[in-house]
Amino acid sequence: MRKIVAILLMLVAWVPVTLAQKYACVNTDYILKSIPDYTNAQKRLDKYVADWQKELQDKQDELDAMRAEYEQESYLLPDNLKKRRQEELKEKEQALKALQRQRFGADGDLDKKRAELLKPVQDRVYSTIERVAHEKNYAFVFDKAASATLLFSNKKYDISDEVLELLGYKPGASAEPPKGADEKAAKRPTNPEMKPRDNGKTPLPLGKN
């Protein structure tokens, strides 16, 4: 009985403290899509992925052509040549699987490029969210973009725009150029002394690493 009373007293003391804690929410998708460095990095990553997928498809087509040719000629080949061709097909297939793992497997090229291009920007965003949380004394900050259980949030507790301002970006501004901007830029005279700016460095999901 005494243990039950002690537990109840602890719960009574804990509830007011919990209710007094401050909470806020943030939308990391909205923030990241408002940052040009992130959208540019994502485009670069997409280009790498498209190139790697084409590379794998080309090698798959080569393997399919070799296999079809072998199947057409196999009944005419002596056993020693037939065995050699089978070994060549097996080596080609193993090489393709190894390349698939290298490009898209765990700790492969995709993971490395994602860390190289996306993680730096994500880290900046995470650090700024943490800074706002400390300054405003928030006990918890929920991510509306990542939480499937956050059914409602009041706009006045959303610190996304505040985070964007601290990062140096205008809230509500799209990181995408207006339609036709690329065509207009292509018609402008270029300055040979100006060097292209590399905007492509960003991170992994927020809070991971």
Share the mean pLDDT of the chain: 78
- Who wins on pLDDT, 150 or 140? 140
Given a cut of 70, whether residue 206 has pLDDT beyond it is no
- Who wins on pLDDT, 172 or 53? 53
Over the stretch 2-16, which tens digit does the pLDDT of each residue have? 443 344 344 444 444
Determine which helix (DSSP H) or strand (DSSP E) holds 121, and give its type and residue range: helix 119-136
On whether the pTM is more than 0.75, the answer is: no
Q: How many helices (H) and strands (E) does the chain have?
A: 8, 2
Over the stretch 37-90, which tens digit does the pLDDT of each residue have? 999 999 999 999 999 999 999 999 999 999 999 999 998 999 999 999 999 999
Rg (alpha carbons) of the chain, rounded to whole number: 28
**pLDDT reported for residue 56:** 98
**Domain boundaries along the sequence of the chain:** 28-172
